Structure 1
Amino acid sequence: MEAATVVSLTMAVLSGYCAGLGVLPPGPVNGTLGGNVIFKTTINPTTLSTIAWTFGDPPVSIVDFLISEGPVTGVGYVGRISLDNSTGSLELRKLTLNDNGTYRVSLRKAGVIQVGNTSLNVYETISNVTLRANVIDLVELNDTAIFTCSVSSGSSPLSYHWLNGSSEVTARYGIQLGDGGRTLTIANVTRYYQGPYRCIVANPVSSEPSQNLTLTISYGPENPIMKVTPLDVLYGSGSTLTLSCSSESSPPAQFQWALNGTLLSNQGPELRLENIQASQSGSYSCWAHNTRTLRYQTSEPYDITVLDLISGAIITTSPNPPIIEGNSVTLTCDASGSIISREWMKDGQLLSAGGNMIISEDKRVLSINPVKRTDSGEYLCRVSNPISTADAKHDLIVNYGPDGMEIKGPTEIKVGQKFTLTCSADSNPPASYTWMLNGTEIPGHSPEFTKEKMEDYLSPGLPAGAIAGIVIGVLLVVGGAVGVAVFFIRKNGTNAEPMHQGGSQQPVYEDLSPVYENTRQNQSPPLPLTDFKSTYDTRIM
């Protein structure tokens, strides 16, 4: 029967005519080893009188179908095929690699024969995809990573697809694909190539990913940044500061601290400075070190200035008091702590150099030369730095005089009349006054001299109405004394003419030298007599 069927189909093909060529879609058809494929025709279901499927060249019968007799299955295909009698489509099961090849079909309906052919490719599915790398712990910009992707089974052609995370890896600068895509080479790796990597191997019927492989790329340290808390320009002694350092680095960097470029014993990302002193001022920086890359980098330095609080401000003078007008005096301002600036004031007004005022460049010393009485007053030295201020005060007393001496009293007095003389002088400290009569000191040191009766002061034999010359000598006593001598001196001789009312007569003075010498003892240096004389004339009536 099989022979008769083949012969009848062959005769049908030879005696009939063909139409509708290409009843199979273009191939190839891909099949999986051990799997199934369907060769589906393009015709709609109908009543077919004959169907013939063959494989290879020369053709081997797969199945023949006569409407009157049914299908006849070829050797090797029993139990492996199913035929759709209405469309001529064929299902082939339990595919083997020997099923690769060309398949042909011939269909006959109402005397019209339709034929078609296609090819079948049977592939073994891919399994056990493995990814390996020459090294997975690399140093940035130093090392090269080479990945190799392999499979334990799977039919060619194989294609390779590379992923880093979810991003596709393609050949570009620094990245190469080789051996048909099986190898991936990354030269001079950077931190941005860390992974995870995987490869996907595919053929027309299957694809399989590898396990993930992550690169560890060491880099840095880079951009070390130092922070100071609290952040300020100047710090007072006794403050507490915290310096912290960070850097871009893998593995994390190790830190060491430096002051003015010299490494300190302190290590770690934080340096705590407690009760900091002025001696710890300087330029601080942190050194970052990566033990894997063996690289170092230093942060930008940060200048920390610590100032001692100012205290104990004092003004000293030279020479020691008393300060005498016409001499010089030096005021020196000192204090403990970090002194940044000084300024001088007198009686609340800012002082500047000029005239008899000389101020040193650092303003520590104020010199007054020559010193004047108007320089007396309260001097203030203000010592400061940006975090503290201290004031020192000194009352400068300039001793001067006596000068500007003046004696006031009546210009005419009657015999027996009370009178008062007043002596004044410009002096600091205030002058002390001494009154003398005929070389004899009168008790008391008041600037006023009062007597009840004028005649008590007339020398024996001095006629009434005679002129009494009152001479006052005023002497400077260093340290505070002013001596004033008042003398009533009669005119030489006993025949002095009486003074008539309205008349005038110049007094005749006795030698004052003994009096001057007597009143200025213990004074140094001596002053000329003319510096101390003052006269006062009184008419006695």
Structure 2
Amino acid sequence: MEMALMYFIILVILSGLTEGSGVLPDGPLNAAVGETVMFTTTLTPTETPFLTLAWTSGAKNIITSNTVNITGPEYEGRITLFPSTGSLELRSLTLDDAGEYSVVIVPAGEAAEMGRTTLAVYEKVSSVSVTSFTEKVSNVSVTSSSTDLVEFSGSVSLSCSASGSSLSFLWLNGSSEVTASDRVQFTDGGSSLTIITVTRFDQGPFRCSVSNPVSTGTSDPVNLIISYGPENINLILSPPQGYFAVGSDISLSCSVGSRPPAQFKWFLNGDQLPDPGSELRLMNVNMSQSGNYSCQAFNSETLRSQTSQPSAITVLEKISAVSVTPSTNLPVEGTSVSLTCEASGSVFTRNWMKDGSDLNPTDNMILSDNNRVLTFDTVNRKDSGEYFCQISNPVSSDEAKYIMMVNYGPENVQIKVPNKINIKGTLKLTCSAESTPSARFTWLFNGVEILTNSAEYVKEEVEFSDSGNYICQAWNNITERTSSSAVHGLIVTDQLSGCAAGCIAGIVIACCVLIAAAVGGGYYIYKEKFNKSSQKQNTEQGENMYVNMRMTRK
């Protein structure tokens, strides 16, 4: 049985199913005479028994586990097998236990696993004079030439000391091994570590791990204080806009990378403010506090400083009391008119609108003085409307309106009447004219004023003597202009009885009067058009009639 199992093991080894260390850790494993060593496999614990499990040392069988366990005679009482992983514990070591160890594991339904490792056994001696004696590592400690350093301008040396023999030194920064470089140097067999031109990443914690073939010891951590900065200074404005209304509260904060924490100064337009600390609060600000703010950070250990980029703050008065003032409250067509937009506060922009839409200046309009003044060279009736002036700045806006009514006329005077009317009938004459404001009217009959301030002339039961020339004159009291007159000839007839001698006489008289009135009316139109004294007279009676009419209206 034992021989067959040995042949199987040799066959597995020769087949090379697993090369190298396999399921065992790399060797050598170090232990002293009389101590215990643990051969731990890398297999995951399993509840299913292995088909075959065999440990050997060279050609010697340590233990074979198949259906039964077979232990080599010299290992009786010195081993413990762990069936779930195949690991092996060997106790009471002797110098003869040194050598190569192998394991072959055949799981159920899987390929066989194999591993090899080496065990080194050292002899303990009781006298320090024996050169083969290896003393365990103890009393490991680290000392530093300095613990307070400045980044980029300081160097430090760390020394590791320990009790023991055959010592090897390993340096750790945190959990990472420290390796040599152009800044990092090892001396005295690795027990001294020198870092040139330290950086903040050299702060540690540093530990020294000391080992020999039989033991290992590690020092307590040593931390370095590396002062650095200030750097990456940042000025934050809250709220983050650059424009603020008078009376606002503003906060500025300054952050920076620094060890130890930096000290701060604040500046306005280059002049230092009395406020210390990393935050500057401006309460109920006024316009005099506008300007460029900056902060400066200073490190008392590195003796370095850094100044932020300036942050511009502009304090503005809110827009109020907006008004639009015309150059005249009674603009007349054909004259020059200007509208002036004023306001209190910090004015940035002025925008004009007309009747709810943006104003598009026409040929007769000019915007000047940063849109403060809107000028009409010659205003016309189409310019009438509702004008808005909107004034704004980054913190407020307001507007005012002005309704402009352009006065014009009168013009296009017309009389609406019948040409003929029966005797005893009612005469109604209506006069109209294009005019703003509405025109005032004066009526003349055969050159004599008969009615003022009325657009209608009404007479009940007309007679033949009412036949003649009716004149309507329109006058605008704002433009102070009088239109050319409208003339209407009226004949009173009696269509039922025919024309008697009195009728004929009346017609003749009416015709004479009509001719005289026409001469007088033509003279009036000529006089209004040229606005000067008449140099030609048709009749002395017509001139006197015109003068009397003007005096009566005034």
With normalisation by structure 2, the TM-score equals: 0.61
Cα contact 2:439–2:475 (8 A) shared by 1: no
CA gap 1:441/1:132 in 2 versus in 1, 3 angstroms = same
370-379 or 234-243, larger mean C-alpha shift: 234-243
Counterparts of 1:322 and 1:527, CA distance in 2: 27
- 2:156 aligned partner, one-letter code: A
Q: Which whole-Å CA distance do the structure 1 matches of 2:31 and 2:474 have between them?
A: 143
SS at match of 1:195: coil
1: CA distance between counterparts of 2:533 and 2:358? Answer: 40
2:106 aligned with 1:97, yes or no?
no
The answer on whether the counterparts of 1:437 and 1:486 sit within 8 Å (CA) in structure 2 is no
Aligned match of 2:175 = 166
Please state how far the C-alpha of 1:363 moved relative to its aligned partner.
Answer: 2.5
SS at match of 1:324: coil
Q: Which residue of 1 aligns with 2:143?
A: 132
Q: Of Structure 1 and Structure 2, which has the larger fraction of its residues in strand?
A: 1
**Structure 2 counterpart of 1:342, from 323, 327, 350:** 350
Selected match of 1:357 from 341, 365, 372:
365
Please list, as runs of the form range in 1=range in 2, the aligned pairs for 1:485-504 lying within 5 A after superposition: 499=507
Query: Is the contact made by 2:297 and 2:305 (CA closer than 8 Å) also made in structure 1?
Result: yes
1:142 aligns with 2:153: yes
What do the CA deviations read for 1:100-158 (whole angstroms, capped 9, x no partner)?
2xxxxxxxxxxxxxxxxxxx52356666555332221100011011123345xx56554
Measured against aligned partners, the alpha-carbon deviations of 1:179-203 in whole angstroms (never above 9, x if no partner) come to 2223211011000010222334455
Query: Do structure 1's residue 469 and structure 2's residue 469 form an aligned pair?
Result: yes
Q: Name the CA distance, whole Å, in 1 between partners of 2:275 and 2:179.
A: 48
Which of residues 394, 402, 405 in structure 2 aligns to 1:397? 405
1 CA distance for matches of 2:126 and 2:245? 90
Mapped to 2, the partners of 1:30 and 1:348 lie a distance apart of 100
Residue in 2 that maps onto 1:77 = none
SS in 2 for 1:221: strand
Shift of 1:385: 4.1
Which sits farther off after the overlay, 212-221 or 251-260?
Answer: 251-260
Corresponding position: 1:383 with 2:383: no
Relative to 1, partners in 2 of residues 1:273 and 1:488: Cα closer, same or farther, differing over 3 Å?
Answer: closer
* Pair 156,488 (structure 1): closer, same or farther in 2 beyond 3 Å: closer
Question: What residue identity is the alignment partner of 1:411?
Answer: N
Conserved in 2, the CA contact under 8 Å of 1:435 and 1:484? no
Aligned to 1:323: 331
Give the corresponding residue for 2:133. 122
Whether 2:219 is the aligned partner of 1:188: answer no
Identify the structure with the greater helix proportion.
Answer: 2
Within 2, Cα distance between the matches of 1:135 and 1:236?
A: 55
Q: Percent sequence identity over matched residues?
A: 41
Q: 2:459 aligns with which of 451, 458, 469?
A: 451
2:323 is aligned to: 314
Q: Distance in 2 between matches of 1:443 and 1:219?
A: 104
Q: Distance in 1 between matches of 2:195 and 2:218?
A: 20
State the TM-score, normalized to the length of structure 1.
0.62
Deviation of residue 160 (structure 1)? 2.9
Q: Name 1:23's counterpart in structure 2.
A: none
Rounded to whole Å, the distance in 2 between the matches of 1:478 and 1:164 is 99
Counterpart in 1 of 2:102? Answer: none
RMSD, aligned α-carbons: 4.6
Aligned residue runs from structure 1 range 49-88, under 5 A: none
Spell out, residue by residue over 1:466-501, the C-alpha distance to the aligned partner (whole angstroms, 9 max, x if none).
x73344444554466869999999xxxxxx98758x
The answer to whether the Cα contact below 8 Å between 1:438 and 1:488 also exists between their aligned partners in 2 is no
Letter in 1 for 2:428: T
Aligned pairs, how many?
410
How far 1:370 sits from its partner (Å)?
0.7
Question: In structure 1, how many angstroms separate the alpha carbons of the residues matched to 2:181 and 2:481?
Answer: 108
Q: Which has the larger radius of gyration?
A: 1
The answer to whether the 8 A contact 2:248-2:283 is kept is yes
How far, CA to CA, are the matches of 2:379 and 2:452 in structure 1?
33
Q: Secondary structure at the match of 1:180?
A: helix
Q: Could you give the per-residue CA deviations for residues 451-479 of structure 1, whole angstroms, max 9, x where no partner exists?
A: 33555967xxxxxxxx7334444455446
Summarize deviations over 1:351-396 as a string: whole Å, max 9, x none: 1122222223733222112101221222112233455432211111
Residue 249 in 1 paired to residue 258 in 2? Answer: yes
Contact 1:125 1:206 in 2 (8 A): yes
1:17 corresponds to:
none
Task: Give the corresponding residue for 1:368.
Answer: 376
Question: Are 1:216 and 2:247 matched, yes or no?
Answer: no
Partner of 1:427: 435
**Quick one: which amino acid aligns to residue 468 of structure 2?**
A
Bigger mean CA deviation after superposition, 436-445 or 174-183: 436-445
Counterpart residue identity of residue 96, structure 1: S
AA aligned opposite 1:227:
I
Change (3 A) 1:172 1:485: closer
Q: Would the aligned equivalents of 1:436 and 1:485 in 2 still touch at CA under 8 Å?
A: no
Q: Is the 8 A contact 2:414 2:486 kept in 1?
A: no
Q: Structure 1 residues 122 and 368 mapped into 2: Cα distance closer, same or farther (>3 Å)? A: same
3-state secondary structure, aligned to 1:424: strand
Task: Identify if the C-alpha distance between structure 1 residues 528 and 353 changes in structure 2 by more than 3 Å, giving closer, same or farther.
Answer: farther
Displacement of 1:433 after TM fit?
2.2
Structure 1 counterpart of 2:236, from 227, 235, 247:
227
Range 424-433 or range 475-484, more displaced: 475-484
For 2:306, the equivalent position in structure 1 comes to 297
- Which blocks of at least 5 consecutive residues in structure 1 are unaligned? 1-28, 45-83, 85-90, 101-119, 459-466, 490-495, 536-541
Residue correspondence of structure 1 range 27-38 to structure 2 within 5 A = none
The residue type paired with residue 355 of structure 1 is D
Q: Does the C-alpha gap of structure 1 residues 497 and 209 become closer, same or farther in structure 2, counting only changes over 3 Å?
A: same
Deviation at 1:94, TM superposition (A): 7.6
Q: Judging changes above 3 Å, is the alpha-carbon distance between structure 1 residues 147 and 244 closer, same or farther for their aligned structure 2 residues?
A: same
1:325 CA drift (Å):
0.9
Call closer, same or farther: CA 1:401–1:129 in 2, change over 3 Å.
same
Q: Which amino acid aligns with 1:271?
A: L
SS in structure 2 of the partner of residue 507 of structure 1: helix
Using the alignment, how far apart are the partners of 2:486 and 2:413 within structure 1? 13
Cα separation, 2, equivalents of 1:528 and 1:97:
152
Q: Is residue 433–residue 483 contact of structure 1 (8 Å, CA) maintained in 2? A: no
Q: Partners of 2:259 and 2:276 in 1: how far apart? A: 18
- Structure 1 SS opposite 2:440: coil
Q: Which residue in the other structure is 2:187 paired with?
A: 178
How far did residue 442 of structure 1 move? 4.0
SS class of match (2:516): coil
Q: CA deviation at 1:177?
A: 0.8
- Structure 1 residues 197 and 417 mapped into 2: Cα distance closer, same or farther (>3 Å)? closer
